[in-house]
Amino acid sequence: MPNRDIGELDRFRENLCAGAKLRRMAKAAIVILAATESYADLDRLTNALQAAKEFEEAGDELEIIFDGAGTQ
C-alpha cells in the first residue's frame, strides 16, 4: 500500500464533505387505487402522478401500479 501524505487525505475528506452532496437513491412505488368517478378521485390521481414526476426528476427508481378501481 502506498504511503500517502496525511495532508492529502485530509484535503480529500474536506473536499468530499464541502463540495459533494451525498444522496442515496430512493426506491419508491406508487399504488393508484382511485377511480375516476368524482373530482376527489381525479385529485388523488393527479397527486399520485405529480409525486411520481418528482421522484423521477430526482433520479429515484420508481414504479407506478394501477390496481382496483384505478384500472378502470
User: Per-residue pLDDT tens for 10-53?
Assistant: 776 666 655 555 566 788 999 998 888 899 989 999 999 999 99
- Please report whether residue 29 resides in a domain: yes
> Residue 58 belongs to what domain range?
24-71
pLDDT above 60 for 2 = no
Question: Residue 65: pLDDT band by 50, 70, 90 thresholds?
Answer: very high
pTM of the model: 0.61
Are residues 26 and 59 in contact, defined by beta-carbon separation less than 8 angstroms? no
In the chain, how many domains are there? 1
- Please report whether residue 35 resides in a domain: yes
- The H or E element containing residue 65 is strand 61-66
- Please report whether residue 31 resides in a domain: yes
Are residues 1 and 33 in contact, defined by beta-carbon separation less than 8 angstroms? no
- Please report whether residue 46 resides in a domain: yes
- Please report whether residue 57 resides in a domain: yes
Distance of CA 48 to the CA centre of its chain: 13
- Please report whether residue 2 resides in a domain: no
- Please report whether residue 1 resides in a domain: no
